[in-house]
Structure formats: C-alpha cells, structure tokens
C-alpha cells in the first residue's frame, strides 16, 4: 500500500510532456507561436511547469508558489496567470492550446495535484428572437455578450501593466445578421 509520503514523492518526481497546438503570450508584447512540427510543448517536471519551443524556454514557473497561479481551462485552451507574491504585479499571463482533449485531460489531472484548475464549458443556445442589430455600442471595460456567452477577454488593467507599457484593450464582437 502506498503511503502519503510516497504518493507525494511520485507526483514531484514525475515528468510529463505534451505537444501544443499554440502558445499565446498575453502579458507585455502579445505574440503567438503555432506548433507545427511538434517542437512546441508544455512539460511538468515535478512542481515546475515549462512551456518551450525546441530548446528555448518561453515560460517557466513553479506550480507551488504563493500566491497560487490562476489556471483556467476552456475547450482545449488553458489560461495561466502568475502574480508576484508581494504585489499584484503580473509576472506571466499566457494561454496554451492542446492538440487533443485527451492531452488536456492528462495535463489537468497532473497539474491538479498542485493547484485547482477552473473549467469553463460553453453550451450552445437557441435563439428564438429576431437577431437583427441596428446599432452596437461597446464599452471595452465591460463584458461583451457573444452568442449568449460572457466574453472574459478583458485585457485592460492599469495595475497589472509591466514597466509603464501603454494599455491595449482587446475586445471581440461577433454580429450575426
């Protein structure tokens, strides 16, 4: 029978790696990397999470830091935010997209040993009302409804901008006429 100590030791010594479809950096200058040849991957080595392309590390942090990283999952995407221990300064904010749901499930199972992962599901809704829109006004600091689903892609927060970089607001609006 495995003891609690041996189970914890096994979790810390286990190294797993998954090939990614995409990596998107969301803090500072935004950029995306697509995994085309299998060289874009996420690795969990004990309590250390590493996102890399080839031999270059894109992100690296401990899953057991305080405060705990924010990790949210939706479909095959996983969003990460790592905040400084002594302030609300954002150290890392990025999103990764797994190649398959099975990869996401295995990753989530391993990472959930260290930290809770918030999972969001999208349910399609039927629209019985008239869908025509004459005029749309968007306040970028409020959530934007998109097909009846709250859009959680607010990007503006002046307290979390590193090095006095200008703020950018990304807003997605979908109109179906």
Output the pTM of the full model. 0.62
Question: Residue ranges per domain, the chain?
Answer: 4-121, 123-177
**Cis status of the peptide bond prior to 67, with omega within 30 of 0:** yes
What is the C-alpha separation between 43 and 4, in angstroms, rounded? 24
pLDDT band at residue 55 using 50, 70 and 90 as cut-offs: very high
pLDDT band at residue 85 using 50, 70 and 90 as cut-offs: confident
Percent of residues, the chain, with pLDDT higher than 70: 60
pLDDT band at residue 37 using 50, 70 and 90 as cut-offs: confident
Q: Half-sphere exposure (CA, 13 Å, Cβ side) for 5?
A: 0
Average pLDDT of the segment spanning 132-155: 40
pLDDT on residue 114: 87
Domain 4-121: give its CATH code: 2.30.29.30
pLDDT on residue 36: 80
Residues 87-143: tens digit of each pLDDT: 889 999 999 999 999 999 999 999 998 888 888 765 555 444 444 433 334 344 444
Maximum average pLDDT range among 36-40, 105-109, 152-156, 164-168: 105-109
Tell how far CA 166 is from the center of its chain.
22
pLDDT on residue 11: 53
Secondary structure, 3-state, 119-148: EECCCCCCCCCCCCCCCCCCCCCCCCEECC
What is the C-alpha separation between 28 and 37, in angstroms, rounded? 27
């Amino acid at each position: 029978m495995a003891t609690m100590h041996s189970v914890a030791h096994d979790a810390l010594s286990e190294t797993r790696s998954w090939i990614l479809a995409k990596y998107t950096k969301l803090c500072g200058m935004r950029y995306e990397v697509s995994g085309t040849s299998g060289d874009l991957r996420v690795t969990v080595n004990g309590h250390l999470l590493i996102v890399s392309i080839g031999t270059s590390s894109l992100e690296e942090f401990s899953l057991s830091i305080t405060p705990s990283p924010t990790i949210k999952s939706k479909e095959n995407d996983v969003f990460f935010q790592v905040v400084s221990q002594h302030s609300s300064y954002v150290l890392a904010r990025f999103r990764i997209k797994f190649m398959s749901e099975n990869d996401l499930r295995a990753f989530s199972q391993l990472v959930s040993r260290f930290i809770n992962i918030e999972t969001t599901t999208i349910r399609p809704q039927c629209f019985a009302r008239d869908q025509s829109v004459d005029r749309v006004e968007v306040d970028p600091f409020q959530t934007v409804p998109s097909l009846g689903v709250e859009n959680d892609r607010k990007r503006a927060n002046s307290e979390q901008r590193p090095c006095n970089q200008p703020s950018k607001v990304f807003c997605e609006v979908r109109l179906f006429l």
